[in-house]
């Protein structure tokens, strides 16, 4: 499925050219705004999805490379769930969605784009936020600039 983006998107895409793991490599850069990292916890972090299903699509991932929930420590699991709940609260306040899709895609067969480093998706949803474009045009329309969303959400995080 294609997406409609402004030309500024190319800068982000070109900024990450590597064979490594984005959930390991991006936090190591220390360039949080450029890499869309909104918050760093002790063992996990919140990052915006660079290819969102909807404006405000966030992900929570552990810093440690782990593919399965059973690979996580108890404290990593707790922090990931706590940060996901925090994302729900922040998105509710900042963007006023009418619902959420929250979950993990574990493994390629489950739809994981990065299947060796688990991450939780938090996708805000609104009534009528889907339309004919994905079905007929194979294109998803995102209604807000990524960095405008980043700046909006960052106000709610230390």
CATH number of the domain to which 46 belongs: 3.30.428.10
Write phi, then psi, for 75 (nearest 5 degrees).
-70, -35
Listing DSSP states for 33-58 in one string gives HHHTEEEE-SSEEEEE-SS-SSTT-E
What pLDDT is attached to residue 9?
44
Residue 17 lies in a domain: no
Residue 42 lies in a domain: yes
Residue 69 lies in a domain: yes
pTM, whole model, 2 decimals? Answer: 0.81
Residue 149 lies in a domain: yes
Residue 101 lies in a domain: yes
Q: Which H or E run includes 2?
A: strand 2-3
Contact 103, 120 (CB under 8 A): yes
Residues involved in catalysis:
119
Q: Note down the domain range covering 79.
A: 2-12+22-154
pLDDT of 10 above 80: no
| Unique residue bearing structure tokens 């998107």 | 9
Residue 99 lies in a domain: yes
What pLDDT is attached to residue 53?
83
E strand residue ranges, 105-155: 120-125, 139-140
| Unique residue bearing structure tokens 């067969």 | 109
pLDDT of 8 above 50: no
Residue 144 lies in a domain: yes
Cα–Cα distance between 50 and 144 in angstroms, integer?
12
Range with lowest mean pLDDT among 52-56, 126-130, 141-145: 141-145
What pLDDT is attached to residue 60?
98
What pLDDT is attached to residue 107?
87
In the chain, how many domains are there? Answer: 1
What pLDDT is attached to residue 86?
97
pLDDT digits (tens, 9 = 90+) for 105-136: 998 888 888 889 999 999 999 887 765 445 44
Residue 130 lies in a domain: yes
Average pLDDT along the chain: 85
E strand residue ranges, 33-155: 37-40, 44-48, 58-62, 99-104, 120-125, 139-140
Range with lowest mean pLDDT among 3-17, 47-61, 75-89, 122-136: 3-17
What pLDDT is attached to residue 28?
96
Report the sign of the C-alpha dihedral through residues 134, 139, 144, 149, in that order: positive
């Amino acid at each position: 499925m294609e997406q409609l983006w402004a030309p500024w998107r190319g800068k982000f895409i070109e900024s990450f050219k590597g064979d490594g793991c984005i959930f390991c490599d991006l936090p190591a850069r220390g360039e949080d705004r450029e890499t869309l990292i909104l918050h760093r916890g002790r063992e996990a972090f919140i990052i915006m999805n660079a290819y969102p299903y909807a404006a405000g699509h966030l992900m929570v991932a552990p810093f440690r490379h782990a593919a399965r929930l059973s690979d996580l420590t108890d404290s990593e699991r707790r922090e990931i769930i706590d940060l996901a709940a925090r994302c729900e609260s922040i998105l509710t306040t900042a963007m006023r969605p009418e619902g959420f899709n929250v979950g993990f895609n574990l493994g390629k067969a489950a739809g994981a784009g990065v299947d060796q480093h688990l991450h939780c998706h938090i996708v805000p949803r609104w009534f009528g936020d889907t339309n004919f474009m994905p079905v007929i045009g194979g294109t998803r329309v995102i209604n807000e600039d990524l960095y405008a969303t980043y700046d909006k959400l960052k106000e709610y995080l230390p």
